[in-house]
Amino acid sequence: MARPNKRRIAVTGLGLVTPVGNDVDTTWSALLSGKSGSAPIASFDASGFSTTFGAEVKGFDPEAAIPNRKLLKYASKSHRFALAAATQALADAGMAPTDADSHRWGLSVGAGMLSVDYEDLKVVHRHAAADGTFNADGLMDPGFPGNPLAFCRWQANAGQALLTKQFGIRGYATSVHTACASGGQAIGTALKVMRRGQCDVMLAGGFDSMLNPLGISGFCLLGALSTDNDNPTGASRPFDLTRNGFVLGEGAGFLVLEDWGRAVARGAKIYAELAGDGNSLSAYRITDSPPDGNGPIQAIHQALGDAGITPGDVDYVNAHGTSTQMNDRSECAALKAVFADRIDEVRVSSTKSSMGHLIAAAGAVEAAVCCLAIRDGVAPVNANYGTPDPDCDVNLVVGQPVRMKIRAALSNSLGFGGSNSSLVFRNPEEVQA
């Protein structure tokens, strides 16, 4: 297939803070073996909630992980994960913006949706709603300790602002949010910005933390989380017949995207080519995508077309695979429609089986996983798989990671609200061939 004349974009750095590890190597080795990051929630008393467990980031020390400590007072938990993962990614790429080129550097992030946390809301409650009804005049009470730092922290683009400041990025910068598709769409946006020549290097990723009382409340109310409170490590079981909801995770993932020629010229290590982006709207229901895969199918086809490859070139799919009944069925229908008679040759796994669902960060973290899978020639496992679901009969990686040459990998992210994102990564050996 003739490749359109598009600027080629290399992935030259990765950074991860996830429930199974606070850096790339630790996360990757946990995902290969299917180690679970899910456990009873430790950061607050979740005993009353219908779900009492989640996949929390553990042992994270922001003071050690983030170079510019002055930014910490403005940084929420998810911003801290972002600053740490982005720092790792740039160190891995072995470069940083300079005065001479900072205007050619860009940033594109998928940011979480929360506007305040429970502790902030408690302050408002105490002063302006003690009886449960909000009265605006309470904010005018001289005793109201309104904290402008908290206000800054919860601005929709606060994470983006902290990242551009930390690294001195002066070109294009943006934040996107399409729920669970945010991270994928952020990376897709970066690809477009670079292809049209607006930046030469971009930091692209996602960050989120909804593992707090207000965040988990939204999902508990909706009944979207697994309630296997007596079995946290086995609760996320994408594509298993007995799956009963997702496991809420948190964290951040960042990729350094660089003009291919620039990366080659400086002798950078290239994980993969970020070759294609596709996105579509299911226009079906807020929480579900259609059982026949209409919506995700178009996103996958677009991404393959954008990459200039065919379904026959894809060896591994990092599935969205949330472990909810509807998502997994719809996604498998889409994969079967796209890969048709090749469906058994394509290995599929959802790494949410290990690290849970990182919401706005999920697509970015899973994009990084695709790059690692290509680099090492190994597909990570779909953990906790036991009972086959006839609607989800794709060729899952079960039990052990599979050693295999991956020519191209597909990463899907399908969000509440119906936004679907697919990304295609190609093996650099294929690109050079």
Partner 1 sequence: MSVSNDPIVFTGSGIVCGAGGSVAEVWGKLTTGETAVRPFTQFDPAKWPVQVASEVLLSDRDLVSDRKLHKTISRTDMFGIYAAEQALADSGLPAHRDALPETDQAAWNDRTGLIVGTGGGNYKSNYDYLPLMTEAEVSPDGALPHFGKELSNQVTPMWLLKNLPNNVLCHVGIRGQYKGTNACITNQCSSGILAVAEAACAITNDEADRIAAAGHDSPFEPEMVYYYHKLGLMSGAAPRPFDASRDGTVFGEGSAALVLERESEAKARGAKIIGEFLGFGCCNEATGIVDLADDGNGVSRAIEEAIGNAGISKEEVALICAHGNGNQASDRTEAMGILRVFGEAAPPVTAFKWCYGHLIAASGIADIVMALEVLKQGVLPGIATLDSVDPVIGAFPISRENRTVSGKVALVICRGFGGMNVVVVVRGRD
Residues with catalytic annotation? 180, 320, 357
> Which of 10, 31, 86, 173 forms a contact with partner 1 (CB under 8 A)?
173
For partner 1, give the closer residue by CB, 20 or 304: 304
Of 309 and 383, which has the nearer Cβ to partner 1?
A: 309
Please state the separation of Cα 64 from the chain's center in Å: 23
**Which of 72, 241, 281, 398 touches partner 1 by CB under 8 A?**
281
The CA angle 177-182-186, to the nearest 5 degrees, is 100
Closer residue to partner 1 in complex, CB, 133/390: 133
Torsion angles phi and psi, residue 2, rounded to 5: -65, 125
Of the candidates 159, 231, 212, the residue with the CA atom closest to the CA atom of residue 386: 231
Is residue 39 within a helix (H) or strand (E), and if so which, with residue range? Answer: strand 39-40
Closest CA to 245 of 215, 287, 275: 287
5 binds partner 1 (CB under 8 A): no
Least Cβ distance, residue 289 to partner 1 (angstroms): 11
Which of the residues 59 through 78 are near partner 1 (CB under 8 A)? 71, 74
CA distances for 280 relative to 218, 331, 357, angstroms: 25, 14, 21
Among 8, 35, 58, 165, binds partner 1 (CB under 8 A): 165
| Region from 25-33, 84-92, 341-349, 416-424 binding partner 1, contact rule CB under 8 A | 416-424
Count of residues of this chain found to bind partner 1 when the rule CB under 8 A is applied:
92
**Helix extents (H) in 101-181:** 118-128, 148-153, 158-167
Q: Which residue number, 34 or 106, has a Cβ lying nearer to partner 1?
A: 106
266 binds partner 1 (CB under 8 A): no
CA of residue 300 relative to chain centroid, distance: 17
Tell me which stretch binds partner 1 (CB under 8 A): 236-244, 278-286, 349-357, 361-369. 278-286
In whole angstroms, how close is the CB of 358 to partner 1 at the nearest point?
16
Residues of span 119-158 touching partner 1 by CB under 8 A: 121-122, 124-125, 128-134, 136-137, 139-140, 146, 148, 151-158
- Which of 45, 61, 344, 345 lies at the binding interface for partner 1 (CB under 8 A)? 45
Q: Which of 1, 44, 386, 399 binds partner 1 (CB under 8 A)?
A: 44
Helices (H), ranges, 204-271 = 213-222, 260-265
Q: Does 42 bind partner 1 (CB under 8 A)?
A: no
Listed residue (280, 275, 249, 276) closest to 360, CA to CA: 249
Tell which one of 28, 49, 207, 339 touches partner 1 (CB under 8 A).
49
Q: How far is the CB of 409 from partner 1 (least distance, A)?
A: 21
Q: Cβ 400 to partner 1, closest distance in Å?
A: 37
Residue 196 and residue 101 in contact, taking contact as beta carbons nearer than 8 Å: no
Q: Residue 274: helix, strand or coil by DSSP? A: strand
Q: Is 417 in the site for partner 1 (CB under 8 A)?
A: yes
342-371 residues in contact with partner 1 (CB under 8 A) are none
Q: Is 182 helix (H, G, I), strand (E, B) or coil?
A: helix
CA distance 77 to 120: 14
- Residue among 171 and 249 whose Cβ is closer to partner 1: 171
Q: How far apart are alpha carbons 307 and 152 in whole angstroms?
A: 39
196-215: contacts with partner 1 (CB under 8 A): 196, 198, 213-214
Q: Which of 380, 358, 377 is nearest to 369 (CA)?
A: 380
Residue 113 CB, nearest approach to partner 1 (Å): 5
Tokens read off for 77: 């938990």
Q: Please report whether residue 177 would count as binding partner 1 according to CB under 8 A.
A: yes
| CB closer to partner 1 out of 130 and 388 | 130
- The answer to whether 245 and 323 are in contact (CB under 8 A) is yes
Whether the Cβ atoms of residue 417 and residue 288 lie closer than 8 Å to each other: no
